[in-house]
Structure formats: C-alpha cells, structure tokens
C-alpha cells in the first residue's frame, strides 16, 4: 500500500484509447441488435454509457414499448447480450416507454408514429 494508492487509480482510470475502444465495441453491439428491435416496430437507442463503472443506459422506443411483456423480454435480452459480449458492462439500465400509443400521442410524444393521409 506504500504506493500512494496507485493500485486503485490503475483500476479506476482508463486511458482515452481504452475508453474509445469500449465505446466503439458498445455501439457495434447496439447496432447488431437494432435491426431485430426494428422488425418489432421499435428501436433501441444508447442513452449513456459510463465505460469506467460499466453502467450502460439504453432506451427502447416505438410501438414495441407499448407491450409490457415484449419490453421486459427485450430488456432482459439486451442486458444479457451486452454483458455477454462486453465483460466490462456491470449494469444495463433502460427506459421503456410505459405508455400505450394513445397516451403517448396525447402527450405529444407520438412523433415516431408514421402518419399517412390516404
């Protein structure tokens, strides 16, 4: 312990290169998952990522978020995939829109719903 706490600094701080590598890896995994979520009529967005603590925040968007069961399944799947592929990920937190589409539109948040006048 006579190294002025150098051990804890080495563990806590990543080099800029290591941070960038982690972020790139995270984004590529998110990009792999997005088409699957999009087939369901939704989307997956990375909200924030702390590459040092390993806490990643994602948001599920779109019509798939109106179904609580699929959202929970999707959230669990996203969590598992991120942790499997990225050993540094410690926690995946995520917003899933809890509103149904009618409520969402009433609150002005239905912008993702395509509107067509036929």
84-113, pLDDT tens digit by residue? 999 999 999 887 654 444 444 444 444 444
* Under-70 pLDDT residues of the chain: 1-12, 63-71, 96-118
Task: Please name each of the domains of the chain with its CATH number.
Answer: 13-98 (3.30.300.130)
Q: What phi and psi, each to the nearest 5 degrees, are found at residue 14?
A: -100, 150
* Tokens representing residue 112 in the block: 């993702």
What pLDDT is stored for residue 29 in this prediction?
A: 95
What pLDDT is stored for residue 74 in this prediction?
A: 77
> Looking up tokens 């109106």, which residue turns up?
66
Cβ atoms within 10 Å of 40's Cβ, excluding its own? 17
* Tokens representing residue 79 in the block: 């969590």
């Amino acid at each position: 312990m006579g190294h002025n706490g150098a051990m804890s600094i080495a563990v806590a701080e990543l080099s800029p290169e290591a941070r960038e590598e982690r972020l790139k890896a995270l984004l590529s995994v998110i990009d792999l998952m997005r088409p699957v979520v999009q087939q369901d009529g939704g989307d997956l967005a990375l909200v924030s990522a702390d590459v040092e603590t390993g806490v990643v925040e994602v948001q599920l968007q779109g019509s798939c978020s109106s179904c609580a069961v699929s959202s929970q399944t999707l959230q669990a799947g996203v969590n598992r995939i991120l942790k499997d592929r990225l050993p540094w990920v410690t926690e995946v937190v995520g917003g899933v829109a809890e509103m149904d589409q009618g409520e969402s539109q009433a609150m002005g948040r239905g912008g993702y719903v395509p509107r067509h006048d036929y």
